[in-house]
Structure 1
Amino acid sequence: TDDQSRMNICWKNLVSGSSLAVCRPGFFKASPQSPSCSKCPPHSYTHEEASTSCLCEEHYFRRESDPPTMACTRPPSAPRNAISNVNETSVFLEWIPPADTGGRKDVSYYIACKKCGSPSGLCEACGSHVRYLPQQIGLKNTSVMMVDLLAHTNYTFEIEAVNGVSDQSPAARQYVAVNVTTNQAAPSPISIVKKGKIAKNSISLSWQEPDRPNGIILEYEIKYFEKDQETSYTIIKSKKTKITVNGLKPASTYIFQIRARTAAGYGGFSRRFEFETSPVSVAASSDQSQIPIIAVSVTVGVILLAVVIGFLLSGRRCGYSKAKQDPEEEKMHFHNGHIKLPGLRTYIDPHTYEDPNQAVHEFAKEIEASCITIERVIGAGEFGEVCSGRLKLPGKREFPVAIKTLKVGYTEKQRRDFLGEASIMGQFDHPNIIHLEGVVTKSKPVMIVTEYMENGSLDTFLKKNDGQFTVIQLVGMLRGIASGMKYLSDMGYVHRDLAARNILINSNLVCKVSDFGLSRVLEDDPEAAYTTRGGKIPIRWTAPEAIAFRKFTSASDVWSYGIVMWEVVSYGERPYWEMTNQDVIKAVEEGYRLPNPMDCPAALYQLMLDCWQKDRNSRPKFDEIVSMLDKLIRNPSSLKTLVNASSRVSNLLVEHSPLGSGAYRSVGEWLEAIKMGRYTEIFMENGYSSMDAVAQVTLEDLRRLGVTLVGHQKKIMSSLQEMKVQLVNGMVPL
């Protein structure tokens, strides 16, 4: 019996891998004090007896700080589905975590930035000037923003997932690469301004070119004012990096700020630099009797000369005064002998030219027809066909373009209106405004040549790609549109027809404002309707004051921008659905607004409502909209809060009313009408046999019923929203 017991104990020890003396192969004892042997953890082994630890299998590793009982692990696989969003010289990257974390939880991310397209043809490291938000190394979240990149530059970003054993693996790095091209951008601020010669009435200044010019510097703008008198300032311009500022008061302190301009626009002003003029000279002429006469003569002469020079050379050296102005008009002021004009370049209406040909040739470059190759027709415009093709200018590489042609048999008025759009477009130069390459007017057909936008109009593109983009990508599109509109607003141009159909989008998802023809009457626009004051305007996109009183301003463009936001977030849904134009006008006047699109972040919907304020002075300006969208992009977590889905019904003032049986006689008829008849049987089987029952359907209900396609969910929920809207004859109240 004792022998049998001893044999049982030995057998149990063998089975458990322990013995009274040593551990057998495949088992280990980390310390002599351990009561028994432990089996080697996953991905580790030992072939020897009495092992105190197990070795890791090939391609698996263990950190020094990992306990011997922990499984051996390996580096993670590459991150997945990386997407980019380019915004001038900033790039936002977002990705999905790796499919294989290597068996560890300490996964973080590293971003490698490479600048490509150097003369050697090789990529090189980006350098220390690039900033990473929140950081480049040790990222825990799956997104990052790179800022302060160079304009018009090709970059490759490599996103690598790393964990605690990545540095032990000799294998090649596992990463996902994203290639982007940055846009045109304004120059960075000037950082160094030095004073030169100082006299009692003048100060000489010099400065260094911006660290990141982002293009060729066209000119510098010098703003100065007497200290503590900021409300009255003067601006002069210079093409050089030095200037002497005259006409100053003796023994006075002046504040100077300088900014640079490229084709993309002005950069930010430098910090304030404070310099003081010399005191009045004590030397005086022995003949004091002539001083008053001379002083008066010189003063009058200087004033007259300044006025004349101001008119003749206003383009090169103009002084401006900041004054309280009516936002609807531009005023000219005199101050210290300077003519005061607006600080920014101003849009000039080509219709003010007696000869429209003069306007075209002033603002648009003439292109030889032989330089253009038309490849295919891609659409029809108001005046003729729209084609894609290629442009080969002397000394430059061939590149793709879009070509608008003027149809045969045109009238002189049609030709004038056709080229009028080129005269407008040619005045703009911004990365979010469609770029005019030139015109063909000296041969037939008459053509307008612009940059080619691969993805076409934004509304069509969104409908084709319903539900395919992240919220950040959609916000990036909206930011680009707002930036373009800010530029137009600063130029003094009112678009009047801002809508997703008039936004073009390229292969990098950069949106550009186009269609500058609403200075003409919209006789051929299917979205336009006659108003009581005559003419046609696009009712669904137009602010109430513009519909009622033809009062078009940048504030009415902001209203239209709010509608564009709604179109983008709803992936090209038609604003106000099938309501008639008259019903839209009535509903908006009564204070109703479009409901929030499905899965819309609360911050975006609030911005839409701000754009739809009835009082146009209460609406945000485009620069405020750009700033707000920038903040959302830098802080993606702020977009995770959605508009409360349960509030959508109460917002529509539906209360407890049924949908009304007059719209559709049955659930099947309703689903067939919206081309969702395939779900009729599922709805009926789950108790949704009446339109009153269907009225209570939520997005979660649709998923439970098996409606998993995002596009189908949107279509059904939008149809329900539309019926509820029709029930209350309007939209969401402010």
Structure 2
Amino acid sequence: MDFLPIAWVCRAGFYKSTVGNMECSKCPPHSFSHHEGSLHCGCERNYFRAEGDPASMACTRPPSAPRNVISSINETSVILDWSWPEDSGGRRDATFNVLCKRCRGEAANGTSGGNLRCEPCRSKVHFLPRATGLHNTTVTVGDLLAHTNYTFEIEALNGVSSLAPKMRQYAAVTITTNQAAPSPVTVIRKEKTSRNSVSLSWQQPERPNGIILDYEIKYYEKEEQETSYTILRARGCNVTLNGLKPSTAYLLQIRARTAAGYGASSPSFQFETSPDSAFSISSESSQVVLIAISSAVAIILLTVLLYVLIGRFCCHSKSKHPDEKRLHFGNSHMRLPGIRTYVDPHTYEDPSQAVHEFAKELDASCIAIDKVVGAGEFGEVCSGRLKMPSKKEICVAIKTLKGGYTDKQRRDFLAEASIMGQFDHPNIIRLEGVVTRSKPVMIVTEYMENGSLDSFLRKHDAQFTVIQLVGMLRGIASGMKYLSDMGYVHRDLAARNILVNSNLVCKVSDFGLSRVLEDDPEAAYTTRGGKIPIRWTAPEAIAYRKFTSASDAWSYGIVLWEVMSYGERPYWEMSNQDVIKAVEEGYRLPPPMDCPATLYQLMLDCWQKERNNRPKFEEIVSILDKLIRNPGCLKITANTTSRPANLLLDRSSSEIPALDTLGDWMDGMRTLPCKEAFSGVSYSSCDTLAKTSTEDLKKVGVTIVGPQKNIVSSLKALDSYTKNGPVPV
């Protein structure tokens, strides 16, 4: 301890860092001086000063561990989000490091325990924005392996953490990645070329993400620009293409398929066939050649005819594919092979045949029912456990068919299993099997801990980051893209029909419902599961029963609005008849509070009146992926953009009527069911009207939260309109 000369001595508990006729200073928090004449104060036990901290600064310590780590898994990537440490250590320079470990063994998602043996992740794992020195509390980790356990340790650091390594703390979370499609084939080699054929080989994708079932080889003449192409399927990493034209350039792409579906196509690979050889024949030999060619053509035609007849005869039977299957398409708009096509179980004469073809029959003794969690039209919905021989016990949801059912009720009940059993995707609810050979008849699916998305969001209002919400939306869009690719139209996409598991993975559910158009506009459509409100349904589906993937895209826009508003009811308390009329006239839902402008624009794109102008689910997935990679795009909210987002109206500025009076404005707010509450309320000007608060609205009877928010927003926009004129859209 350094001391000052006696003339300038400071007593214990005080210090003076320089010699001179200066006052002594009291030791800052968590520091001390036990002797007189101290130049500085020492730090208490487990408290430190970083190099560069002034003597007047309190001693500090490392922060506590981050809190509330949440993981959102999307195939082979995960979004990690956490809260700031409860104790910052007295400093404001905290940063975060994320350590990735690949583990072997068994562990449940979201836990940090289990019988795991872990090692550092490979260097190809990608962190966005980075793994160390993070100032924000979220990070995206990509390029993980499929079906693999990972543990992530999140450590909080500050300026004195390096001085106390034993005091450093971290939070850990263990996750298991989902099944994912394989990465693209990158290495293709030409082995042998002739005038009419070429032999190729390639290397397996760097990340197969599972067992590769087969490869799809697509090739076409370079000059044809993909207007006419041929597709082969091969089980191995080599193929011979026959029937090519001599001296012709071709382009080729290869993609691999696993149980999760096809991966991305390889870059285009170009090859050329050998030139045609010059030869001449005599007139006599030419006749022999013509006869031979004619015979060959006749044989080929007979073979093709026989193939078509056999194909039609066997179209409903299940058969194994040969190692290679050639399919030729006249244009690029026809459905590609490899992606399975949905088969309507109602086309089977015997519905039980569809159930046994697409769903696994389970032994009732393998199922243990724990408790009843709900009730449906057909019977009870329960949670329970499924223990198959030589497999780990898993939690499941069980739908039962109540006693006394008719044959039609049994068929309707099992139709959902026949549909669900055809799907295999991480964002589609997974069917474990059915019980049909004993009573009660049961449908067994994976168990989703957090239940339906709408109630889950209402329960956790404003508790998630925008990135977490976008991750949920991306999962729903990915599942819908899969259904669209299979040719299945959901027709009842809504947040109530999305289920959420413990890792915030959203999965599309509720299949097999039929809709019948009724005269009653309040019912609109009925299903075997009850009435469906029309506020999720596209206009052409309401008017003409035109259900397509485009009408599903409209419904997705409503789901997007539900998610960003944390489960608010679309159109609030408007009647179904008013919703139909308003939408037909061009009205659209306003952006939810603090909704990013990019997401609101996506909603409006989904709500295009012309169905061909709505984005396809493949485009929606791509848009959401870009937003996840560039979270800065989500910082601009729709409420602060130039569009008049307060109105439930999606028109150009030329279509917005002049708002000369308060009455005109109220007439324009016809989609808000509580405008009558303003009758008899006097306002001296739009300026005073714009100062209306939610408390004022409660006093005049507007108690619904959704309309409250939007009326206040609309009043402010009206004030801006009267002062500055219309805002260009």
TM-score by length of 2: 0.80
What is the one-letter code of the residue matched to 2:70?
Answer: I
What is the one-letter code of the residue matched to 1:318?
Answer: R
Alignment of 1:517-666 (within 5 A): 517-519=512-514, 521=516, 528-530=523-525, 538-644=533-639, 647=644, 649=646, 656-657=662-663
Q: CA deviation at 1:54?
A: 7.1
Alignment of 1:4-153 (within 5 A): 13-14=8-9, 26-29=15-18, 42=28, 58-62=45-49, 73-102=60-89, 104-118=91-105, 121-153=116-148
Cα contact 2:222–2:249 (8 A) shared by 1: yes
Q: Which residue of 1 aligns with 2:455?
A: 460
Provide the secondary structure at the position in 1 that maps to 2:412: helix
Counterparts in 2 of 1:80 and 1:476: CA distance versus 1, 3 Å: same
Q: Which residue of 2 aligns with 1:248?
A: 244
Alignment of 1:421-432 (within 5 A): 421-432=416-427
Counterparts in 2 of 1:376 and 1:53: CA distance versus 1, 3 Å: closer
Provide the secondary structure at the position in 2 that maps to 1:123: strand
Provide the secondary structure at the position in 2 that maps to 1:571: coil
Counterparts in 2 of 1:551 and 1:723: CA distance versus 1, 3 Å: farther
Q: CA deviation at 1:299?
A: 4.4
Of residues 132, 150, 154, the one that matches 2:149 is 154
Of residues 274, 278, 286, the one that matches 2:274 is 278
Q: CA deviation at 1:14?
A: 3.5
What is the one-letter code of the residue matched to 2:705?
Answer: I
What is the one-letter code of the residue matched to 2:78?
Answer: V
Deviations 1:564-598 (A, max 9, x none): 11222222222222222211111111111122222
- Tell me whether 1:216 sits opposite 2:211 in the alignment: yes
Deviations 1:188-220 (A, max 9, x none): 222222232333222222223222222222221
What is the one-letter code of the residue matched to 1:718?
Answer: P
Q: Distance in 1 between matches of 2:354 and 2:14?
A: 91
Q: Which residue of 2 aligns with 1:193?
A: 188
What residue ranges of structure 2 are gaps of 5+ in the alignment? 107-114, 312-318, 650-655, 715-727
Cα contact 1:659–1:695 (8 A) shared by 2: no
Q: CA deviation at 1:126?
A: 1.7
Q: CA deviation at 1:90?
A: 0.9
Of residues 165, 180, 203, the one that matches 1:170 is 165
Provide the secondary structure at the position in 1 that maps to 2:662: coil
Cα contact 2:229–2:331 (8 A) shared by 1: no
Cα contact 1:203–1:246 (8 A) shared by 2: yes
Q: Distance in 2 between matches of 1:260 and 1:580?
A: 50
Provide the secondary structure at the position in 1 that maps to 2:455: helix
- Tell me whether 1:319 sits opposite 2:327 in the alignment: yes
Q: CA deviation at 1:125?
A: 1.5
Decide which moves more: 277-286 or 546-555. 277-286
Deviations 1:281-315 (A, max 9, x none): 45778984323332343345446545655775995
Cα contact 1:200–1:280 (8 A) shared by 2: yes
Decide which moves more: 463-472 or 130-139. 463-472
Provide the secondary structure at the position in 2 that maps to 1:150: coil
Counterparts in 2 of 1:79 and 1:719: CA distance versus 1, 3 Å: same
What is the one-letter code of the residue matched to 2:559?
Answer: V
Counterparts in 2 of 1:113 and 1:136: CA distance versus 1, 3 Å: same
- Tell me whether 1:718 sits opposite 2:713 in the alignment: no
Counterparts in 2 of 1:576 and 1:266: CA distance versus 1, 3 Å: same
Of residues 468, 476, 485, the one that matches 1:473 is 468
- Tell me whether 1:226 sits opposite 2:221 in the alignment: yes
- Tell me whether 1:400 sits opposite 2:389 in the alignment: no
Q: CA deviation at 1:381?
A: 1.8
Q: Distance in 2 between matches of 1:714 and 1:664?
A: 12
Counterparts in 2 of 1:383 and 1:45: CA distance versus 1, 3 Å: closer
Q: CA deviation at 1:616?
A: 0.6
- Tell me whether 1:349 sits opposite 2:351 in the alignment: no
Q: Which residue of 2 aligns with 1:420?
A: 415
Q: CA deviation at 1:67?
A: 6.8
What is the one-letter code of the residue matched to 1:319?
Answer: L
Q: Distance in 1 between matches of 2:366 and 2:589?
A: 48
What percent of counterpart residues are identical?
63
Q: Distance in 2 between matches of 1:565 and 1:176?
A: 32
Of residues 364, 372, 389, the one that matches 2:367 is 372
Cα contact 2:364–2:435 (8 A) shared by 1: yes
Q: Which residue of 2 aligns with 1:297?
A: 295
Decide which moves more: 641-650 or 561-570. 641-650
Q: Distance in 1 between matches of 2:690 and 2:350?
A: 61
Q: Which residue of 2 aligns with 1:677?
A: none
Cα contact 1:577–1:722 (8 A) shared by 2: no
Decide which moves more: 403-412 or 299-308. 299-308
Decide which moves more: 620-629 or 241-250. 241-250
Cα contact 1:494–1:554 (8 A) shared by 2: yes
What residue ranges of structure 1 are gaps of 5+ in the alignment? 1-9, 18-23, 332-340, 668-686, 706-712, 726-732
Cα contact 2:355–2:418 (8 A) shared by 1: yes
Q: CA deviation at 1:665?
A: 9.7
Q: Distance in 2 between matches of 1:526 and 1:260?
A: 48
Provide the secondary structure at the position in 2 that maps to 1:644: helix
Q: Distance in 2 between matches of 1:284 and 1:172?
A: 90
Decide which moves more: 445-454 or 202-211. 202-211
Provide the secondary structure at the position in 1 that maps to 2:78: strand
What is the one-letter code of the residue matched to 1:716?
Answer: V
Provide the secondary structure at the position in 2 that maps to 1:624: helix
Q: How many residues align?
A: 664
Decide which moves more: 315-324 or 358-367. 315-324
Q: CA deviation at 1:511?
A: 1.1
Q: CA deviation at 1:717?
A: 4.5
Cα contact 1:41–1:70 (8 A) shared by 2: no
Q: Which residue of 1 aligns with 2:233?
A: 237
Deviations 1:4-24 (A, max 9, x none): xxxxxx99733599xxxxxx9
Q: Distance in 1 between matches of 2:490 and 2:512?
A: 8
What is the one-letter code of the residue matched to 1:321?
Answer: F
Counterparts in 2 of 1:35 and 1:614: CA distance versus 1, 3 Å: same
Q: CA deviation at 1:719?
A: 4.8
Counterparts in 2 of 1:464 and 1:67: CA distance versus 1, 3 Å: closer
